[in-house]
Structure 1
Amino acid sequence: MSVSIDRSIAAEAAALRTHYAQTILPIWRGPGFNSALQLPYEAVAAADHAPLPPVRYRAMACARQLFVFSQAGEAAHAEQLFHAMCRYFHDEKHGGWLYSVDPQGAPLDATKDLYTHAFVIFACAHYASTTGDRDALRVIAETASLVQARFAAADGVLHAALTQDFTTVRTGALQNPLMHLTEAYLAAYETTGEPAYETALARLAESVARRFVHTPTGAIAELPIGSADNRLEPGHQFEWFYLVKRAGPVVAASGLEAELARAFDFAQRHGVDRATGGVCAALDESGGVKDATQRIWAQTEYLRALATRGRDEDLETLALQIPRFQARFLHPRGWYECVTPQGDVARADMPSTTPYHLATAYASLPY
């Protein structure tokens, strides 16, 4: 790879990080943060950053913001978020974490949601890593133990959602919570060094390979293989590609690395617009576009996957893709959450969950 390409990518990535530090983070320290409740608002308006009228606050959104400010080294703000997350969302009676609270901070949706629990583990791992907070380490251990004990299904996978007391299944296995649990266990292992997280990772990867891999393409489907109206999301193929590469030997026995090498090519060939670089939301099992919406998180996963695979042709593509992403999805007051294939804004408000995607992608780009 030429020195000029390397320098080009580093300069482009630096511009993304500057926009993030100078434009994105101040939103969520300021107008996007409810200082009375010490919780992030769900979303702010693009024009003036005014919070959208709150109808709920989610534990997952708070956890993502905890990660964002932990990674940014802003320990004081992260500490506020950690304590607010524990105060509002921890279920003292049944254990685990509530899905959401109402605008006054009272319990709203008490569903026990695997996606939420994964983000609690992930965020607390990063917070503990940067601060050494022993309460966060305790939350990681307790939540991971609860996930294994209470979300387990008879076939070795994990349910996506249960009732508050964990007695009734609301939603069976889904891909997305399992992917974020993989991410959470990686973070927990890196923070604690506990070998139990490696064991959990290996078991989780095996169950995903068994239940979700679409054999013709290697892609990991959103629903278990054989489900009606299944779909393949290009952004998730890129996200899984990064996670499995990072896990390395721990998940080698699952065969996911080889499958995702095929899935990367499938997603890039069918899910990325050649003219604009926009990544579509979903494909069908033959590669046809099922949902043409371009969501910003899928674009960030494409950037991270290109940097992770890192072949010469990937870096050449990355050098073109970063400025296309910047022009299409970023603006001086923030970002566009969703655009159409034609480039029209399909969702103008800015959710508090999106900075997590920006942060994880930018951290993987060359310096």
Structure 2
Amino acid sequence: MDTFASTIPLANALRGHFTRVVLPLWRGPGFNTALQLPYEAVSAKNAQPLPAERYRAMACARQLFVFSQAGDAAHAQTLFDSLMHTFQDTRDGGWFYSVDAQGAPLDTTKDLYTHAFVVFACAEFGRRSGNRDALEVLHRTSALIQSNFAADGDLFNSALNADFSAVTATPIQNPLMHLTEAWLAAREATRDNAFDAALRHLADAIAENFVHAPTGCIAELPIGADDNRLEPGHQFEWFWLIRQARTLFDASGLEAALNRAFGFAQQYGVDKETGAVCASLDENGRIKDATQRIWAQTEYLRALASHEDAATLALLPRQIELFQQRFLRPQGWYECKTPAGEVARADMPSTTPYHLATAFDALPRR
């Protein structure tokens, strides 16, 4: 039996668990019907929401993506309406980072990570539903990112204050990666060529400022920054992203770099016995943070599924089995584990279904 055929039933089992367990959790006990928002997290013990201290726009947007992709049009519409009514800053523009337990603005920072996820979620919702308001939000938020978050060298600052008058955090890798993801989704949803140019410029800037030349890895901080780190999960995530529009990224050299980064992350960041991916490495491949976070495992699955080397692709069925055994449970999932397999974080955050959904969607189907 070839790798593709042997992987299908394993992938279907993951998708079945997601449909039977994860989605109902966030339609039901994980959803605050009074505020019409997903709770930040639910307890792994009883699947009840943890006491609410805040609700984040990014979490709402991720859930909007998940339920849009799942074809739950009604719940997706509810989440889109909540995103608009709860997190939109109608005075200064853009999106609040969070609101408090009563739904009032809490952290009014204008955060690139949040804005990227608004674009990403609205692209998925708009593409699947035809909702013109969502596509308008996509374009408006993208334009705001380009005008208000712009930094030197085609990069974008990570955060500004509420009225965009002061930069509070300079460019770092993770928001830029999710902006790449968002603009790829926007390009697909709108067929607007303007996103092609934006993606090319961004890819060139990332290649110039974040690629660690010896390994090809994309570092978390600009090259040369103190205490930099390389996250294996992000190498796998970038590996998959760049393959979604290869011709756009040809000139940047990112694909060649990430081919090397995949090998480095796999060699030093994946446990040989358990298949679990660690949180971070230093530039020599030594483990800096051994925590095994579920999102990094899902990105390894997605990267393996998109790999063109037959020997690497052949690892996918076994990796799915290892992931299922170590990180899924009948009532949900384990968010973080130690190398010894102990649970390092007991709750289940509302942001994780996005990682599960994107990974499982990339796995083979009948």
The answer to whether TM tops 0.5 is: yes
Alpha-carbon deviations, 1:325-349, whole Å to 9, x = none? Answer: 0000000000000000010000010
Superposition map of 1:255-266 within 5 A: 255-266=253-264
- Does 1:137 pair with 2:150? no
For structure 2, the residue ranges without an aligned partner over 5 or more in a row are none
Superposition map of 1:140-289 within 5 A: 140-289=138-287
> Does structure 2 conserve the Cα–Cα contact (< 8 Å) formed by 1:140 and 1:188?
yes
For the residues of structure 2 that align with 1:313 and 1:42, how far apart are their CA atoms? Answer: 40
Q: How far apart are 1:55 and its partner, in Å?
A: 0.5
SS of aligned partner of 1:57? strand
SS of aligned partner of 1:170? strand
For the residues of structure 2 that align with 1:4 and 1:318, how far apart are their CA atoms? Answer: 11
For structure 1, the residue ranges without an aligned partner over 5 or more in a row are none
Partner residue in 1 for 2:317: 319
Q: Which of 331, 343, 354 is the matching residue for 1:333?
A: 331
SS of aligned partner of 1:123? helix
Q: Which of 341, 349, 363 is the matching residue for 1:365?
A: 363
Partner residue in 1 for 2:354: 356
SS of aligned partner of 2:244? helix
Q: How far apart are 1:4 and its partner, in Å?
A: 4.2
Alpha-carbon deviations, 1:242-264, whole Å to 9, x = none? Answer: 00111210111110000000000
For the residues of structure 1 that align with 2:39 and 2:317, how far apart are their CA atoms? Answer: 34
For the residues of structure 2 that align with 1:270 and 1:5, how far apart are their CA atoms? Answer: 25
SS of aligned partner of 1:155? helix
For the residues of structure 2 that align with 1:252 and 1:97, how far apart are their CA atoms? Answer: 33
> Does structure 2 conserve the Cα–Cα contact (< 8 Å) formed by 1:159 and 1:172?
yes
Amino acid at match of 1:204: L
> Does structure 2 conserve the Cα–Cα contact (< 8 Å) formed by 1:307 and 1:314?
no
For the residues of structure 1 that align with 2:3 and 2:140, how far apart are their CA atoms? Answer: 46
For the residues of structure 2 that align with 1:88 and 1:202, how far apart are their CA atoms? Answer: 33
For the residues of structure 2 that align with 1:314 and 1:337, how far apart are their CA atoms? Answer: 26
For the residues of structure 2 that align with 1:312 and 1:263, how far apart are their CA atoms? Answer: 18
Alpha-carbon deviations, 1:115-165, whole Å to 9, x = none? Answer: 000000000000001100010011000000000000001332100000011
Q: How far apart are 1:7 and its partner, in Å?
A: 2.3
Amino acid at match of 1:348: A
For the residues of structure 1 that align with 2:116 and 2:3, how far apart are their CA atoms? Answer: 37
For the residues of structure 1 that align with 2:352 and 2:155, how far apart are their CA atoms? Answer: 28
Q: Which of 269, 289, 293 is the matching residue for 1:291?
A: 289
Superposition map of 1:110-121 within 5 A: 110-121=108-119
Amino acid at match of 2:229: R
Alpha-carbon deviations, 1:251-299, whole Å to 9, x = none? Answer: 1111000000000000000000001000000000100000000000000
Q: Which of 42, 49, 52 is the matching residue for 1:51?
A: 49
Partner residue in 1 for 2:298: 300
For the residues of structure 2 that align with 1:153 and 1:32, how far apart are their CA atoms? Answer: 38
SS of aligned partner of 1:12? helix
- 324-333 vs 309-318, which moves further: 309-318
Partner residue in 1 for 2:307: 309
For the residues of structure 2 that align with 1:252 and 1:312, how far apart are their CA atoms? Answer: 23
- 232-241 vs 244-253, which moves further: 244-253
Alpha-carbon deviations, 1:69-89, whole Å to 9, x = none? Answer: 000000000000000001011
Q: Which of 10, 13, 34 is the matching residue for 1:15?
A: 13
How many residues are paired up? 365
Give the RMSD, CA atoms, in angstroms. 0.7
- Does 1:72 pair with 2:70? yes
Amino acid at match of 1:312: A
For the residues of structure 1 that align with 2:10 and 2:308, how far apart are their CA atoms? Answer: 16
Give runs of ≥4 in structure 1 deviating > 4 Å.
none
For the residues of structure 1 that align with 2:164 and 2:311, how far apart are their CA atoms? Answer: 48
TM-score (norm 1): 0.99
> Does structure 2 conserve the Cα–Cα contact (< 8 Å) formed by 1:38 and 1:84?
yes
SS of aligned partner of 1:246? coil
Partner residue in 2 for 1:123: 121
For the residues of structure 2 that align with 1:245 and 1:309, how far apart are their CA atoms? Answer: 9
Amino acid at match of 1:122: F
